[in-house]
């Protein structure tokens, strides 16, 4: 139990260990720790920024959505209006067309009626003439009474 | 176990170092060997971590090493307010090395001496901190560092002034000097003797327990081992903290 040269040996070992620690062990580990600290701080800051950005984006999305809704309502309104107009227009057109067709049909009918009447008249006059001829065969001289006959035919016509 | 010489012989045998040489030039081979092996273990572990140190997600070993490093770093930063490249690594080395020394105490008292005797070594004392040379080597190194930093920071005259003119002013110079010398010398002596005393006593209790009948041994050895976990960590911690305190005192300019 005495102090001896072991002391010197131990001191040499000790200084060697301290030197090795100082040179090769302490700096890299502390550097890694510091770097991690910085990284974590950066990560936290980024997360905060991200949160802020999310809030902004949400706000923006809300306004955009609102705008879009308004716009769509507007579009739907105008479309409805246009549709109504279209329906109204086509209704009117159809009515006009119908009226025109009706008019045309009426005109044709009129014309045909006139035609028929004319024909009828001609036939009736011819018939009457023939009947009159039959009756008056003997008494009437065609050449003598040509004028009268013509007048009658004209009157009938 | 208690062979020739009975209990006393057993105890003395266990506390005798394996030595070569005569007089002052005696070398305690066991102390030198085990402390070197433990030092290599310490350097190897931390070096392997330091090489693969990443600022990303740390592995198990890195986590463990970082825990110790941060613990030491906190202690240093709490006490020492200057800038020094040396103090923190010094504190880490002291803490780990002393802890590993002390941890040798947890091995069964007869295990390594038995292996040693099979290899032809008559004596073996496995705990380097039960050797005064081991503890004094540490504390004297710290003492020299205190001396070195005192002069470096305060200058040679500042150092002389502090040694002679405090705490009672220049008129009581011899008295001041005496007080200061005692104060400074007390630092390494108390450091070394505290560690040595605690571990020597602890080892002695383990040896005494080993002398008891085998049935009783675990009953006492188990609680003492658990208690000793506290002691070995605490002693390593105290040695480290006091080293930091002494060195920061040396850095302070009055």
pLDDT digits (tens, 9 = 90+) for B11-36: 888 888 888 888 888 888 889 999 99
Q: Is residue A104 part of a domain?
A: yes
| pLDDT tens profile B181-219 | 999 999 999 999 999 999 999 999 999 998 888 889 889
Q: What is the mean pLDDT of residues B117-129?
A: 87
CA–CA dist B144, A18 (Å, integer): 14
Q: Is the pLDDT of residue B160 over 70?
A: yes
Count of domains for chain A: 1
Closest CA to B136 of A16, A10, A21, A13: A10
CA–CA dist B218, B225 (Å, integer): 10
Q: Directed axis angle between helix A26-136 and helix B87-103, to 10°?
A: 100
**Confidence grade of residue B83 (pLDDT, cut at 50, 70, 90):** confident
**Confidence grade of residue B68 (pLDDT, cut at 50, 70, 90):** very high
**Inter-chain CB proximity B50 and A18 less than 8 Å:** no
Instruction: Supply the pLDDT for residue A110.
Output: 95
Asked if B220 reaches chain A (Cβ–Cβ under 8 Å), the answer is no
Asked if A26 reaches chain B (Cβ–Cβ under 8 Å), the answer is yes
Q: Is residue A103 part of a domain?
A: yes
Mean pLDDT over the full length of chain B: 89
Q: How far is CA A72 from CA A59, A82, A90, B51, B234, in A?
A: 20, 15, 26, 64, 77
Instruction: Supply the pLDDT for residue A139.
Output: 65
Are B188 and B130 within 8 A, CB to CB?
no
Instruction: Supply the pLDDT for residue B253.
Output: 67
Q: Is residue A61 part of a domain?
A: yes
Q: Is residue A52 part of a domain?
A: yes
Q: Which residues of B touch A18 (CB under 8 A)?
A: 86, 89-90, 93
Are B136 and B82 within 8 A, CB to CB?
no
Structural domain boundaries enclosing A45: 6-156
Q: Which residues of B touch A5 (CB under 8 A)?
A: 21, 24-27
Instruction: Supply the pLDDT for residue B1.
Output: 42
Q: What is the mean pLDDT of each run of 10 residues along chain A (157 residues)?
A: 84 94 92 92 96 96 96 96 95 95 95 93 87 74 73 76
Q: Is the pLDDT of residue B223 over 70?
A: yes
Q: Is residue A79 part of a domain?
A: yes
Asked if B137 reaches chain A (Cβ–Cβ under 8 Å), the answer is yes
Query: Chain B interface, mutation test: which of A8, A11, A12, A14, most B Cβ atoms within 10 Å?
Result: A14
**Annotation marks residue B198 as catalytic:** yes
Are B182 and B174 within 8 A, CB to CB?
no
CA–CA dist B134, A7 (Å, integer): 6
Q: Is residue A1 part of a domain?
A: no
Q: How many percent of chain B have pLDDT more than 70?
A: 97
Asked if B113 reaches chain A (Cβ–Cβ under 8 Å), the answer is no
Q: Which residues of B6-32 are buried (b: 16+ CB within 10 A; e: fewer)?
A: eeeebbebbbebbbeeeeeebbbbbbb
**Inter-chain CB proximity B53 and A32 less than 8 Å:** yes
| pLDDT tens profile B85-116 | 899 999 999 999 999 999 998 888 888 888 88
Q: Which residues of A touch B136 (CB under 8 A)?
A: 3, 7
Q: Where are the alpha helices (DSSP H) in chain B?
A: 6-14, 29-51, 60-79, 87-103, 111-118, 132-165, 173-211, 217-251
Closest-CA residue of chain B to A32: B55
Asked if A150 reaches chain B (Cβ–Cβ under 8 Å), the answer is no
């Amino acid at each position: 139990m005495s102090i001896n040269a072991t002391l010197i040996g131990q001191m040499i070992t000790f200084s060697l260990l301290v030197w090795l620690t100082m040179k090769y062990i302490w700096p890299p580990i502390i550097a890694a720790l510091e770097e991690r600290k910085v990284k974590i701080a950066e990560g936290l800051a980024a997360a905060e920024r991200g949160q802020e950005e999310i809030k902004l984006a949400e706000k923006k999305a809300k306004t955009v959505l609102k705008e879009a809704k308004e716009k769509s309502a507007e579009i739907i309104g105008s479309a409805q209006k246009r549709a109504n107009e279209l329906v109204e227009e086509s209704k009117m057109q159809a009515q006009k067309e119908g009226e025109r067709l009706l008019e045309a049909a009426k005109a044709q009918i009129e014309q045909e009626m006139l035609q028929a009447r004319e024909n009828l008249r001609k036939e009736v006059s011819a018939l009457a003439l023939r009947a009159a001829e039959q009756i008056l065969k003997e008494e009437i001289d065609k050449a003598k009474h040509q004028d009268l006959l013509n007048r009658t035919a004209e009157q009938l016509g | 176990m208690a062979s020739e010489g009975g209990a006393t012989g057993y105890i003395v045998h266990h506390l005798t170092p394996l030595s070569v040489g005569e007089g002052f030039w005696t070398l305690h081979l066991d102390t030198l060997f085990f402390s070197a092996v433990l030092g290599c273990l310490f350097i190897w572990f931390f070096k392997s971590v330091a090489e693969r140190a990443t600022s990303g997600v740390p592995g198990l070993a890195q986590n463990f090493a970082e825990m110790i490093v941060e613990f030491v770093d906190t202690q240093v930063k709490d006490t020492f307010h200057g800038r020094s490249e040396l103090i923190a690594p010094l504190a880490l080395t002291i803490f780990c090395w002393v802890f590993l020394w002390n941890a040798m105490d947890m091995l069964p008292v007869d295990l390594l001496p038995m292996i040693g005797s099979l290899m032809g070594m008559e004596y073996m004392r496995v705990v380097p901190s039960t050797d005064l040379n081991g503890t004094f080597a540490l504390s004297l190194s710290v003492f020299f560092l205190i001396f070195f930093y005192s002069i470096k920071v305060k200058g040679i005259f500042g150092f002389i002034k502090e040694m002679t003119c405090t705490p009672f002013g220049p008129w009581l110079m011899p008295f001041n000097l005496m007080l200061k010398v005692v104060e400074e010398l007390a630092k390494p002596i108390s450091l070394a003797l505290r560690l040595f005393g605690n571990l020597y006593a602890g080892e002695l209790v383990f040896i005494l327990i080993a002398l008891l009948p085998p049935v009783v041994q675990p009953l006492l050895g188990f609680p003492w081992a658990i208690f000793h976990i506290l002691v070995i960590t605490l002693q390593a911690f105290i040695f480290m903290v006091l080293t930091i305190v002494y060195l920061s005192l040396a850095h302070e300019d009055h």
